Amino acid sequence: MPQDANTSVSTRIDSDGGLTFDAFMKLLRSKPDSLDAYFGEIGISTLLPSTQATIHCRYLKLDGTNTPRVNALADRLARELINYSIPRSDIKEALEKAEGAYDTKHFAALYRKANRLFTDIENTGEGGELLLYLMTETYLQLPQLFCKMPLKTSSKMHYHGADGIHGSYDPSTKTLAMYWGESKLYATPSAAIKACFESLAPFVLPDGSSAAPQTRDVQLLSDNLNLDDSEFEAALLRYLDPDDPYFNKMIYRGVALVGFDSASYTPGTPPLTEDGLQTALLSATSSWHKSVAHYVAKHELSEIGIELFCIPFPSVEAFRTAFLKELGIK
């Protein structure tokens, strides 16, 4: 991201060449209320007993005709394509070329570039991955450090690895927390939660070997770090270098999203209302919590910090279709 001319080095790195909290916060692209028109809370965020896993349940809001805002959400996500998938240096270059010229062709080129990165596979989960990115930045205020999209070599395939990497920094301990992202969209909550934890566990469980999934992605992050701030990048790279003492201050956490179908959105008698929808969905959360607790225990993740978004949809297939239509793919 472009540096403020009045920003001193001390706001980005500390006296030892380490990171600062301010530097992380300046990477954020979303405010905490950015999704208030699209999602509402189902109850309150819950820390599962005897774990470090917190569940955040959100529902899709209704428009003035009491219709779930599926298509509107797809449009909102499409407007995040550049932020999500284009390196910051490319965005900065487009900004510089357009400065004072009211010339948008460079941004149009970036949008086309971003659009071509997304797959046209029917059962794509990339809409869920983009939603995870936006929710993580918005609700958790954890900036994205790495996106897999620029590494894709074909729109006909998915990239294998974490869906994204976000980060946070604790200046009191100089600890860097790396949040490995995983998103799953399935017809049922149990299937989505099962698949999510099966994919997430290898990334967040400590290993340290050269063959570990997180080792591969840390190397990819090191090789492709693009935050448009050379001093901040140099400080961050110290945490990613296994030969640097700062590497020992990096911890692994998880951030995930599960989307699934819910009959609670189905119109009936009485007619669907937002209050009624909230009440119906709230009664289902206990079963979601039990399923999450089961897979946290099964994969021995009780000591790993995990933030999980549970998102019931009227239909995940309808969401996929709406997203692909917004991209002009379907």
- Give the model's pLDDT for residue 226: 85
d(CA 311, CA 285): 11
- Give the model's pLDDT for residue 212: 78
Residue spans per domain, the chain: 9-26+33-68+125-317
Do the beta carbons of residue 184 and residue 199 sit within 8 Å?
Answer: yes
d(CA 323, CA 330): 9
Question: Which of 183, 9, 215 has the alpha carbon at shortest distance from 84?
Answer: 183
Amino acid at 20: T
d(CA 115, CA 80): 11
Poorest-pLDDT segment among 52-66, 177-191, 197-211, 310-324: 197-211
Question: Which of 58, 125, 66, 73 has the alpha carbon at shortest distance from 265?
Answer: 66
Phi, psi of 114 (to 5 degrees): -65, -45
- Give the model's pLDDT for residue 4: 41
Residue with tokens 């590497």: 247
Beta-carbon count within 10 A of 34 CB: 16
Question: Which of 186, 217, 191, 190 has the alpha carbon at shortest distance from 203?
Answer: 217
The stretch 158-175 carries a mean pLDDT of: 83
Q: Tens of pLDDT along 201-237?
A: 999 997 766 677 788 888 888 888 888 888 888 999 9
Helix 189-204 to helix 285-298 angle (10° resolution) is 30
Tokens describing residue 279? 């009440």
d(CA 122, CA 204): 29
Spell out the residues 6+ positions from residue 275 whose beta carbon is closer than 8 angstroms to its own: none
- Is the pLDDT at 1 greater than 50? The verdict is no
**pTM attached to this predicted model:** 0.90
Q: Tens of pLDDT along 247-284?
A: 999 999 999 999 999 999 998 767 889 999 999 999 99
Mean pLDDT of the chain: 87
- Give the model's pLDDT for residue 74: 97
pLDDT tier, 14 (very low <50, low <70, confident <90, very high otherwise): low
The stretch 188-196 carries a mean pLDDT of: 98
The stretch 157-175 carries a mean pLDDT of: 81
pLDDT tier, 10 (very low <50, low <70, confident <90, very high otherwise): very low
Sign, Cα dihedral of 114, 118, 120, 122: negative
- Give the model's pLDDT for residue 141: 96
Spell out the residues 6+ positions from residue 158 whose beta carbon is closer than 8 angstroms to its own: 119, 121, 124, 125, 126
- Give the model's pLDDT for residue 252: 94
The stretch 4-31 carries a mean pLDDT of: 66
The stretch 295-312 carries a mean pLDDT of: 97
Poorest-pLDDT segment among 3-17, 99-113, 177-191, 287-301: 3-17
- Give the model's pLDDT for residue 3: 41
- Is the pLDDT at 298 greater than 60? The verdict is yes
83 or 268, greater pLDDT: 83
